Structure 1
Amino acid sequence: MSVAREDWLRAHGALWYGDARYRMAWFVLPQAVTCAVAGLCLALAAHGEWGRPATASKERLAELTALRDRAGKSGDRKAFEELSAAAARNQIDASTKLGTLYDPLTAPYFPKKPSPDDFSRATALYGPGAAAGELLAVTRLADVLLDPANSNGDLKRGCRLAQTWIDDPETLNRTITGEERLTVKLAKCYVHPESGLPQNPVRAGELVTAVLWRKHRPTIDAFINNLGAQDPALVTGIQRHLAEQGRYIGLVDGRANPALITALQVEAGIKDTVATPRPEPRRVTPSGPDPEVRALAGAARTDRQALARLKSLAESGNADALIFYADLFNPVSNKGEVFAPDAQVAVAYYERAAAAGQGRAASQAAAIYDEGWGNVAKDPKKAAALAIQAVDLKDYQMEFWLLFEEGSSWSGAFWGALQAELKARGFYTLPVENKRNPAVITAVRAYLKARS
């Protein structure tokens, strides 16, 4: 062994046994260098998003979309040929875009397309993208395979793809809006014994009513104007779903009846229902509370005669009087200094005020039912329904309470009931669980956006 080698070993031994940092460096530095090199290699090799098929770049997707639109909307033959050539080179996204030009279901969007309507050709073009997990291809292929006009449809494959579509996080984020037709097809999968999916009539009913809520005209025609022609299993699912939500009281027998049609008309926002219309409660004016009623409510805290006049005004249907009278009995604000609080009185008048257009009243009633304040029993399901009503009435306090965790302390059961309400409307697609989670907040935001 050379002298230099011996000197190095001697120095190394002295440092190894005498300096803990030196020993640590021998363990850490090689691993750090290895990780750095591996990270650099991965960065250089990556061409797509993590966890997704590495298809075309965003720029290339924009180019392909432009080609598709020029071909389909302007009749540009050169653009069509260029898109076809890209698809022939096995470019997945090009195949999917080209498929929409052959797809009979998307034909209305491309009135000048140079290609014929061809279910088989569209199916073949959507296939590679669907196999790669590309959501547009999955969605379009499911729609094509489940369409009754497609003589070469595939029920099991179509239902499986439709389930993949609705379970995708991207679908959760943007809800079912824009894919109402596919949503109804998936609903039918849940009641078809040969679909390959677990049979779930109630879930099927949820999906149909969610589409009706979006005022989708073909679904209104099918499930309101021609309800008697629908699959009895699906009608049963609709009946069960609406009954569970407290929006239908009638037989669960798979048959169309006036009560069910009325319930579906309400879901679709149709005012002229088959039932005898009830008079609308007087709506609250947009100018804010009546100053005279507000002053009367202030006096009613200590003046029994003012309290009696306020109650009389509330009984006449005055929306401002209804909510102010309820406030006086709310156990949160009434600590019994003058007269005893009464939560039952409070919620009764809050609910009447909400029916007259007072969003804050719905919020206050929801809070009382969720907490079970005073002499009111806890009812998270009713609280959730009132919360939705408050959102519909654009009560910003309720929006804050729902979106920001520090804004309120809703019970776990309330969050479960709210998820069920949003699921019934097609905004929440995950299983219901009795807790606040990111998915329900996403659903609330989507619902707010849809109602704005």
Structure 2
Amino acid sequence: MSGTDRLGAHAALWYADARYRLAWFALPQVAVALAAGLALAVLKPAGEWGKPADSKESEKTYLDLLDKAGKDGDKAAFDKLKAAADAGDISARSFMGALYNPEWAGIYVKNPVKADAATALSYYQKPADLGYPGAQRGMTDLLLNRGRGQYDLKRGCRYGLAFQANPVAIRNNYLNSWSTLFWIAGCYADAESGVPKDPQKAADIYMDTVAARLPLAIGTFTDDLGRQPPDLVAAIQRNLARRGFYSGPTDGAATPQTQAAIRALSGTAAAPQGRPADPGQPPPQARPPAPAPAPSTDEMMALFKSATTDAAAEGKLRALAESGVSVAQYLYALLLSPANTNKQRITAPDAALASRYLERLVAERSFAPAAAAAAFLYDVGGANFPRAPGKAADMTIRALELKSTDIIQNLSEDKWGAGFWAALQQRLADRNLYQGRIVDQRNDRTIQAARRLLGNP
């Protein structure tokens, strides 16, 4: 096995995303590396500023340092990893990118450095240019997610297509990273991406992410299907027809029948009734029966209100959350949060579980209310869940980036704990939005800076 193969195999230990570790839906791969501007010849590492790790032991060492630094808060481990990265080791640079990558903040909760997309990109770039798939994936996620502040469509698509065609990524099942594939699909749908437009290829990848139950994909192509271009919707209808979920016209219209078919594919609703099969055509591919439709939002709100005193309602809401229903996850997190001061509730607070649900919704669905709720949770803390003013400030920034007007109202009420205001001012200053001394108290400059980030000066 070559050094590059070993790099890919060991990097897979880290970069394989457990949240989307489902059955791998095979995607057609094409020779896109040249079109992406990153020919696969670069997979042979250049020696201009150091060489990649050349043994399993050294790669494992860097992975162990990553875990110690991010999960245990081990500053000495971080310093060793940083020294290796700054000396030019490719795998160390990619792992350093992971420490700074905001996408992984929920996993590396004791990280000695704060998440910073720009710094992550600076560490990722060289390994990505040399064909390291984990770094290519990191570049793709950060450059194509508009919510991260480093959005660059053409550059992100170059790295995304190189990642998609990278033989090491394919061989080591990196392509079960559904969130990354969701961003890559957009490259084929947007004429400004620098990639030849191919709505059908975009639709095929998008529907694979729906079938894998990626919440971001399900929300985009059910609730927001009407915002998608007609040529993409038509391609989605063709994909659904091939899968046996859709029998309507291929007209590019965001009809209820099309939405129902997407929900059925995602496993969140029953499949629509199709017309009788044409005897001259092969039967549609067999599939297991879809589960019953999820309750409506109003029904889940009713469960949430009853769950404070009704054990049956609490159990139903919990089951919906555990099954992956996003609205139920948000409501159940609110029920569990120590920030919920309802004295009548029968469910004991569980701040750790609430934080996991909220951070997942923020990361996977860019859900602004979840960011605001997480900010309150980290500010309040709870049993076995110490207050984290820095995390509260991070989630406040995220809520502002996602245009949550509720967070502005709560900032104005000044009910935040010690350390929060200083942490928030520092983060706003890092974005050149706050000027003045960092003081741990609310002031007009902080609110004005927050409004500028929200886009409402």
TM-score where L is the length of structure 1: 0.49
Structure having the larger proportion of residues in helix: 1
